[in-house]
Each structure stands twice: as C-alpha cells, then as structure tokens.
Structure 1
Amino acid sequence: MKKSLLALSMAGAMMLSVTPVVDAVGNGPNYGGNETVNTSILHTYDELSDFLQKEHAKQQDMELEVIGQTVKGRDLYLVKYMKNRDNPTILFLTQQHGNEQLTTEGALEFVKHLGTGKMKGVTDDVNILIVPMLNADGAMGDVDFSLDDYVASGDRNLTRYNALGIDLNRDHITKIQPETKALHDNVMRKYDIDYMIDLHHQGTQSAIDNEYVSGSILYPTTPNVDEDVVLKSKQLGAVVYDAIEAKGWGHLGKYNGGSAETISRNGIAVEYGISTLLFEMRGMSDHFYESYVLGQKSNGYLIKQTITTLDATVRAIADRSIETKDVSFWDTLPFQTNRTTE
C-alpha cells in the first residue's frame, strides 16, 4: 500500500474512533473548486498489479488468477481464498466505474489484512473472491474520449466509463464489453457464489435527516428475483449496516436504485441466484461534475468503511451468523435525499 495513502487511512481511522457522525461524515469535506484533487495517492493499475503479485508471493492461502483483459489489453485480476469448494462463497467487486477507487484501496488493504494473524482460521469456513479494478482503463484515464472537463489533477484522470465510453454496470445482460464478459465467463459461471457485494461511490450530497450519509445500500429490486435470494441479500445488508453504524462515524441510507437487470445488483441475482448488495460510498475520486467529487481528507474514513464491510461480511458468513440476521431494519431505513442548505 502506498505510504501516503496508508498513513491517511490510518490517521483517519484514529480520528474516526472518537469522532461523532455529524463531524466525520456530515461536515464533508466537499470539493469546493479550489482544492487540488491529487490522483497520485491512488494506486495506478501497474501499482495494483505489483501489489497483488507481492501479496500472492507472501500469502500461502492466496491465489491470483487473470480472468480476461480490458479493451486496452490490461489483465483483469481475481484474488481467491478458496480452501474448500463446499464452503459458502462471497464475491467483492470493485471499480466497475473507474472513477470510484477508494473501495479498491480498501479491498487491497483487506487483502493484506487476510495475510495476517488477525484473520487466522476465518478462511477455513468461507471462500473469498475479490475482483479489484474491473474498469482498469477508465481508472487510468486510458480512454478514447476527452477528459478535459474532469476535476482531478496529478498523474491521471479517472472516468466512470470504459475505454469505449460504455458504462460496465449497464452491460450485465448483453455482456458485450470485454470486462463484463470476462467477469461473467470466468467468475460468475465458474464459481458457485452465494453472496456478492458490488462496491461503488455516489455523489456527495446524499443525506438522511439533512446529515450527509457515509454511504447507502440496496438489495436486488427486480420483480424477477427469487424471494429467498432477496431475503439473503437483506441479511447481507444487515451485517454491513450493523457493522458500520456501530462504529459511530458511519451513517447509512437506503439507495434509490432501479429494477433494471442490466445492473449487476439485479441481473446477477436473477441469472445466477446470487444474493447481492449494492454499497455506494460517499463521493468520487474524479468526475466532470464538481459536486460529485469529495475532498481528499475524507479518504481515510471511506477506506476504513470498505475494510469494515469486507471484514464483517466475511466473518458473518464464516460463522454462519448471517443466516439468522434480523432484516427488519430495512422497513424503517430511510431512502436518502439530497441535503438542503438553510
């Protein structure tokens, strides 16, 4: 992990342990148009590849697989911890949108975490699959369209779309793009997956009770999904909600998501019977809309939020406590709205 980003993450984590939600989340900071949003603190694709190779060499239980290539020919990686094929399996998917990178930073830190004694014995009872940076071309700004209006500076711009200007999270029926085709051919159809968390970022203005959320969650909402899949998706959400809200710095809402099956949350739940959860973290690493970009001082708590999410869900699946999670909180969890100013 890059020293500058890790230091920021750990500093944020220390502050968040004692800071109430109104300060940690509600006060931003937002990008105001004058700050420098420096992408050099984020892993480049090559740095991500080097990190995964080094962790693979160090961790006995970790496997690293190439599942395909991007439009521009970058290898797409799958990180695997799979001791027993009969164990329940969870997939963590990050950066379908290339400008939503802090979840990838958290996932990489979690990979390192899995190689320590803190997770001893957990992977005996759960299989873990991680696809980091699915949209590697967009994450590197290596695209066939202009990024002149994007906010970030530093080494590169990051864009939502792949190199051809396609939103990968609208390609889960036709699977035309090489990135989504690789995901379905070599992950979804190859492994017996029970749960999936699709990690994204949203804009900065979403709020509940006029306080900014740290993120929002949603289960599959297409009418074509099996009821048992929805129940287990809601239980997955309950694990995440309880873990984040207990920290004191998290503040989650319900995402206003549609029912289209072109979206992974819906399409994958229907096609494969996998219980899915969308988690939209607050703010983006880059965008042409300034109001979508979050100031860099928020990076720490968002990375910590990702690590907390992955850790909590892995442990709940491993000890099977997820199977008895109460999902009634979904009935009262408010849909987020945009924060208003007085």
Structure 2
Amino acid sequence: MRKKMMTLTIAGAMVLSASPFMSPAVGAVGNGPAYGGNETINTSILTTYDEMADFLQTQEAKQKNMELEVIGQSIKGRDLYLVKYVINPENPTILFLTQQHGNEQLTTEGALEFIKHLGTGKMKGVTDGVNILIVPMLNPDGAMGDVNFSLDDYIAKGDRNLTRYNADGIDLNRDHITKIQPETKAFHENVMRKYDIDYMIDLHHQGTQSERDGELVSGSILYPTTPNVDPDVLLKSKQLGAVVFDAIDSKGWGHLGKYRGGNAETISRNGIAVEYGISTLLFEMRGMSDHSYESYVLGQKSNGYLIQQTITTLDATVRAIADDSIEDADISFWDTLSYQENRTSE
C-alpha cells in the first residue's frame, strides 16, 4: 500500500484529538475557492479504488469487530464492498452509502477515516449498541474514470477524471426502482434485502454556490419527501437529520441548509424509505471533486473541512443511535430551516 493511503490522502485535513476529532480552522466555509480557471484540480491526492480495497482488507485484519463483504461487481468488474460492524443483530442498524456518483469522493475519504477510528479506543463500546454498515464506493468505475464515454469536458487535469455516472453513463441514484444497473442491483439484493436496517444516510456532493441566509453552506440535508412515506419513518428520518444538524451547524466551519429535492422514488432517499420502511437522510456536501460544470468543482483547500464534516456526521449518528439519544432529538428546527438558494453572481 502506498504511503499516501496510510494518511488517507487527505493532506492535513485533521489531527486526532479527544473530541474525538479536531475541527478544522473556524470560518472554513467559503475559504476554499471554487474552480475559477486558474487552480489545478488534482485528483491524484484522492484515494484510488485499489488503494481503498487494500485499506479495507488491512483494517479487517486489524479490527476484530469489522467484517468485509463483497456484495457484487461493477460493470467493469470491480468488487463492490460492504463494511460491517454487527455485534448484536438485535441492535438498531445504520447504513452509510457513499459515492453513488463517482465524482463525489470526499464522503468516501471521510468514511474510510471513520472506519479506521472504529478500530481505536476512541470508539470503544460504541458498536456494542449499534450495528454499522458502510458502502464506501458504490460507483468505482465512475470514481476511476473508467467509463465508456468521453470525459474530455471534465475539469480535473490530474491523475484521473471522476464522473457522476457509472461506466455506461447511467445515474445510479435514479435506478432505485428498476435496479437494472449491476451496482444498484447488488446493493439492493445483497444489502437492502439482506440486512435489517433502521436508518440510512446517503452521502453526496452538490455545487459550490448554495447559500442559506446569505452565507455559503458547507452542505445541505433533507428527509424523504415522497407522500408515500410512513409517518413513523418520516419522524425518525427527521430525528436523524436533527442529530446531524446539531453536530455540524454548531461548528465554526459548519453551515447547513435544507436541500431542494424531488419526490421521485427512483431516488434512494425516497425509494428506500418507502420500499423498506427505513428512515433516510440525504446529506449533500459542498462542491465536487470533478465535473463538466466549473461551478460544481471546489478547490482543494476545502477538502479538510468537508472530510471532517463526513466524519463528524458518521460519529454523531452512530453514538446517538447507540445510546438512544436519537429518540429525544428535537425536530422543530426543520420548520424554520431555510432552503438553500443558489448565490447569484455579483
């Protein structure tokens, strides 16, 4: 394994502390510039698929409570991994899903760092009260730019391009009803239908120019909005969002808005809530690693706080589920949380 994988390629993103993770510099939101034509977007600092696979196998060998499962293969034949911490099947279970879109990688970087910390003393006892499932890269072909269409118009000029779509140009997050693509088919057959899951957070990235109350956001969240969702599932989804909001928005670098999302059940946030009765939350982090639209790509000075935002989200939610404090989460903030809006150019 290359040395950069041992640091998870996040280049100064964080240092461990007793909190359990040290926060990045206050005021980070907006400080990392969006791509403006003058900054090199260097994807070589991001974890490759092979590095991720090596890392997961190494962690499985080190961590007694971790089990690694291959749930299927991508179009190009890459194994799709599921990381499992299941000590007591009767415990509530949360699933974290990252990189349905291959160009949204910082959530995967944060998930890998979180996996490493689940094997340390700082997380001791947490997995006694909650089962954790993590799909750290559902779209490895898109993440590696190994696709059957041109990426010449993508912004990054580094080690590789990363694309939203899978190898055949399909958006996996619009395939949760038909489940035609091998990645979504494997996900539903070997994760959703196999495990008794109570909560799911679907981690994504959005554009760089969204703001709430006049300030650029570090991300946005949303519960299932389909009218077919069960009321209790919706309540618990909102409680999950409350835990995340309280953990992130209280940070100097965190500022969350309410995402403007559709009601279609082809989207995982909606379809999974209805089909499986699972409480779901969408979390859209600010900025993408690569895209054909310049306004979607975020400069790398923001990588640290966005990775930290992922770690904080995973840490806060598993702890709240493990100690049942999620049941007391105050969801009233949803009534006043402003929808994010696109910042207009001045």
Which of the five TM-score ranges fits, normalised by the shorter chain?
over 0.9
Structure 2 equivalent of residue 68 of structure 1: 72
5+ residue gaps, structure 2: none
Cα distance, 1:290–1:341 mapped onto 2, change above 3 Å: closer
Structure 2 equivalent of residue 243 of structure 1: 247
Matched, 1:199 2:206: no
CA deviation profile, 1:103-162 (whole Å, cap 9, x unmatched): 000000000010000000000010000001100000000000000010112211000000
Moved more, 241-250 or 254-263: 241-250
Matched, 1:131 2:135: yes
Matched, 1:144 2:148: yes
Q: Secondary structure at the match of 1:286?
A: coil
Q: State the TM-score, normalized to the length of structure 1.
A: 0.96
Q: Secondary structure at the match of 1:8?
A: coil
State the alpha-carbon separation in 2 of the partners of residues 148 and 341 from structure 1.
27
Instruction: Say if 1:233 and 1:275, in contact at 8 Å, map to a contact too.
Output: yes
Output the aligned Cα RMSD.
1.5
Instruction: Say if 2:172 and 2:181, in contact at 8 Å, map to a contact too.
Output: yes
Cα distance, 1:311–1:100 mapped onto 2, change above 3 Å: same
Structure 1 equivalent of residue 32 of structure 2: 28
The CA deviation at 1:79 is 0.1
State the alpha-carbon separation in 2 of the partners of residues 170 and 262 from structure 1.
5
Structure 2 equivalent of residue 253 of structure 1: 257
Structure 1 equivalent of residue 111 of structure 2: 107
State the alpha-carbon separation in 1 of the partners of residues 220 and 69 from structure 2.
31
State the alpha-carbon separation in 2 of the partners of residues 127 and 15 from structure 1.
25
Matched, 1:47 2:51: yes
Instruction: Say if 2:129 and 2:322, in contact at 8 Å, map to a contact too.
Output: yes
CA deviation profile, 1:18-66 (whole Å, cap 9, x unmatched): 523xxx1133321111111111110110000000000011000000000
Q: Secondary structure at the match of 2:9?
A: helix
State the alpha-carbon separation in 2 of the partners of residues 146 and 75 from structure 1.
23
State the alpha-carbon separation in 2 of the partners of residues 327 and 205 from structure 1.
27
Off by >3 Å, runs of 4+ in structure 1: 1-4, 11-18
Aligned residues: 339
The CA deviation at 1:163 is 0.3
Structure 2 equivalent of residue 120 of structure 1: 124
Cα distance, 1:34–1:71 mapped onto 2, change above 3 Å: same
Name the aligned partner's letter for residue 114 of structure 1. Answer: L
Matched, 1:298 2:305: no
State the alpha-carbon separation in 2 of the partners of residues 258 and 315 from structure 1.
30
Q: State the TM-score, normalized to the length of structure 2.
A: 0.95
The CA deviation at 1:194 is 0.1
Name the aligned partner's letter for residue 212 of structure 1. Answer: L
Cα distance, 1:29–1:123 mapped onto 2, change above 3 Å: same
Structure 2 equivalent of residue 279 of structure 1: 283
Of residues 26, 38, 49 in structure 2, which corresponds to 1:19?
26
Name the aligned partner's letter for residue 156 of structure 1. Answer: R
Matched, 1:335 2:339: yes
Cα distance, 1:4–1:199 mapped onto 2, change above 3 Å: closer
Structure 2 equivalent of residue 319 of structure 1: 323
Instruction: Say if 1:2 and 1:41, in contact at 8 Å, map to a contact too.
Output: no
CA deviation profile, 1:293-329 (whole Å, cap 9, x unmatched): 0000000000000000000000000000001111000
Matched, 1:265 2:269: yes
The CA deviation at 1:3 is 3.4
Structure 2 equivalent of residue 56 of structure 1: 60
The CA deviation at 1:247 is 1.6
Cα distance, 1:18–1:324 mapped onto 2, change above 3 Å: same
Instruction: Say if 2:23 and 2:308, in contact at 8 Å, map to a contact too.
Output: no
5+ residue gaps, structure 1: none
Cα distance, 1:5–1:11 mapped onto 2, change above 3 Å: farther
Moved more, 276-285 or 24-33: 24-33
